[in-house]
Structure 1
Amino acid sequence: MCLVQFIFPYDLILLYRILCMTNTTSSTGSTIGKFYILIQRYFILKGLSFDEQKWSGRTMRRLIAIQIFFPLLISLIYGLGDYKTKMKDGILILNGASDSTTVAIKVVNNIIYATFIIYGFIFIFLYRRSFKRMKRHAEAGTLSNLVNKQRVMVIFVLGCTITHLIKALHQIVWTIAAAMGNQTFIEAVYPLYPYANGLANFASPIILFLCFRRVRWLLVEGCISPTRKGSTVHSNRTISHSSSDTIEISRF
């Protein structure tokens, strides 16, 4: 197991605080964003219109503001908290957040993760019920595409929920270890953090890439296709014109 740990002299405590706050803000913001996906997907299935633009621009701006400022507020625990220090080679260096700061941030994070997990499984149950309604109302010609698309979204939600459950369990164990002040326990749990954190943060884009053909196509096109000046995309279909005939060659 290889774990790289950067050493910060005490003189760089301000930079260290900013980095801790940035990490907390991005992690919490990611969880809130996934929670938005849970809610939006449910209303899409419930409405049976399958309109992806369920929320107005005003609503989106408010949700984005919450996604930014609420995590920033939580990150103040690191911004105003205490930090441990130790001597190494005659230099006073930072040795992570104090136990009280660590416990405080972990408790808040555990509440957020637990909320996400509970609602995640509730919405998965609701998705299943919505599938049955969708099959009754969808037209026969479009049923297969609709079911496949929504099934992939359930896989996405389930993947996000399970990976967050793993990280939440790690955070709970870490919180207990810090509260007990058992340094041996802390040192045993801490090296597992990159793996639990990596699963929670990177599982969703990997699932999107593997399950959605359109995501793969857009990524490949963005990497290898030159920018076309003056071109405008009006729909999600690629059309080939030949004489007076219009032939659809691809649909996403």
Structure 2
Amino acid sequence: MMDPKLALVGGGLLIVALIFYFALVRRENQPVTLLAASGVYGILCILGYDFKWNWDLPTSVIQRALSSITAIGHTIAKYFVCLNRYFAIRHYNLSDNWNRSTVVLMLVAQFVIPILVVIPLAFAQPNANGIGWGPSYLLTIVQSLSAVIYGSYVIVGSILTAMSAKHLRSLMHSASEKNKTMAVRQEILILFYSIVLFISHSLKCIQQILFIAMANVPEVQATSLMLYPYINELAVFTSPIMMLLISSKLRRLLWSWYTRPCFGRKKSITVNPFSKTQDTIRF
């Protein structure tokens, strides 16, 4: 399992992430709700894998199911956030106008699809030799469906990122006035944020695919398993760290909470990381 020092650092970052996502949830905005849901799944990924479990057989099945649910749910949530960032770049202010029912359906999908994928694990039974569980085809079903989801994220995310970059290039060629230049600058920051988050989570997806595909190569599986805690935390904490770097309003919001109690306040700073009509994307 994880090195104690790294676990301590991860625990500290986990607290920062909780504060960050609580700040976003307070903002009544549909795309931000998707980002907060992604953050919740990211935190569950840490709780589901990085903390030590009692490795008897029933617990190992539960831990495997929880780890799979959180990893798949985190990937689906990141896919929806990636889709939202594409529309934020592609269409002016569209990210503020998503239909509530659409967002609700996305949230339901984030939590229902992972559970459906791991249902076969509920029928797993201990093997006769007491090592692992079976029948093996149940695990194969879960792994195959998981690999499809991970691979889809990498492929679709690559396409959306490339399309966003292409749209940004056309904007840069057409921008001449000062207000257009500022809009392009905001587009660049959003695209940079999107690319970094896409790469960080793609590393996690690729690691998961390698772990599944190389089931018959113990050395590769062992290396993949050893690297997973580091890749997992990178995928989870890149988002809050990046948002703190590029959003001046989010930094002011967290600083205001630090300098005075946030409970009982009648007014709060509103934060929308994706809006291009507010001064939120700024170094």
Is the pair's TM-score, using the shorter chain for normalization, greater than 0.5? yes
Query: Whose helix proportion is higher, 1 or 2?
Result: 2
Structure 1 position 140, deviation (Å): 2.9
Q: Which amino acid aligns with 1:9?
A: D
Identify the residue that residue 32 of structure 1 maps to in structure 2. 76
Change (3 A) 1:192 1:251: closer
- Which ranges in structure 1 are unaligned for 5 or more consecutive residues? 87-91, 237-249
Identify the residue that residue 6 of structure 1 maps to in structure 2. 53
Change (3 A) 1:74 1:218: farther
1:203 counterpart = 2:250: no
Change (3 A) 1:115 1:226: same
2:175 and 2:133 map into 1 onto residues whose CA distance is: 55
2:133 and 2:256 map into 1 onto residues whose CA distance is: 43
- For CA contacts below 8 A with separation 6 or more, give which structure has more relative contact order: 2
1:193 and 1:234 map into 2 onto residues whose CA distance is: 37
Aligned-residue CA RMSD in angstroms? 3.4
1:55 counterpart = 2:98: yes
1:71 and 1:27 map into 2 onto residues whose CA distance is: 8
Based on CA coordinates, which of the two structures has the bigger radius of gyration? 1
TM-score when normalising by structure 1: 0.72
Query: Whose strand proportion is higher, 1 or 2?
Result: 1
1:142 and 1:225 map into 2 onto residues whose CA distance is: 36
Matched residue SS, 2:98:
coil
Matched residue SS, 2:214:
helix
1:230 and 1:200 map into 2 onto residues whose CA distance is: 34
Identify the residue that residue 75 of structure 1 maps to in structure 2. 118
1:37 and 1:50 map into 2 onto residues whose CA distance is: 15
Identify the residue that residue 246 of structure 1 maps to in structure 2. none
CA contact (8 A) 2:154 2:205 kept: no
Identify the residue that residue 266 of structure 2 maps to in structure 1. 231
Change (3 A) 1:226 1:97: farther
The within-5 A match list for 1:2-151 is 6-10=53-57, 13=58, 15-47=59-91, 49-82=92-125, 100=137, 102-135=139-172, 140-151=177-188
1:153 counterpart = 2:169: no
2:126 and 2:222 map into 1 onto residues whose CA distance is: 17
Matched residue SS, 2:95:
coil
Structure 1 position 137, deviation (Å): 6.9
1:69 and 1:233 map into 2 onto residues whose CA distance is: 33
